[in-house]
């Protein structure tokens, strides 16, 4: 599965970078260019880093510090009329 469409970087390539010691999206970018063009893949890269024990993204840490709710996943419920 592609993570970065701009540079045709796959999930496997990102995981190789993580296994090689990358701990941040910037370190991933240095290794395979993912996240260096439009930036739409950076959240997925952060998620992959989190799945492999890296620190959560700064936004998640800030939200936790402020006591904000975790982002909801799934479908958005329609507004009541």
What six digits make up the tokens of 1?
A: 């599965």
pLDDT(76) > 90: no
Instruction: Quote the pTM value.
Output: 0.66
Instruction: Indicate the helix (H) or strand (E) that contains 66.
Output: helix 58-66
Give the pLDDT score at 2: 95
Residue-wise pLDDT tens digits, 23-75: 889 999 999 999 999 989 998 998 899 888 776 566 666 666 666 555 444 44
pLDDT, residue 33, reads: 95
Burial annotation 40-67 (CB, 10 A radius, 16+ → b, else e): ebbebbbebbeeeebeebeeeeeeeeee
The domain over range 2-66 is classified in CATH as 1.10.10.920: no
Nearest CA among 38, 41, 57 for reference residue 49: 57
């Amino acid at each position: 599965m592609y993570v970065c469409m701009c540079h045709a970087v796959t999930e496997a390539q990102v995981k190789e970078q993580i296994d090689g010691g990358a701990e941040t999206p910037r370190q991933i970018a240095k290794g395979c260019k993912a996240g260096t063009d439009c930036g739409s893949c950076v959240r997925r890269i952060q998620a992959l880093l989190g799945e492999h024990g890296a620190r959560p993204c700064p936004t998640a840490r800030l939200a936790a510090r402020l006591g904000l709710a975790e982002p909801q996943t799934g479908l958005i419920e329609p507004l009541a009329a």
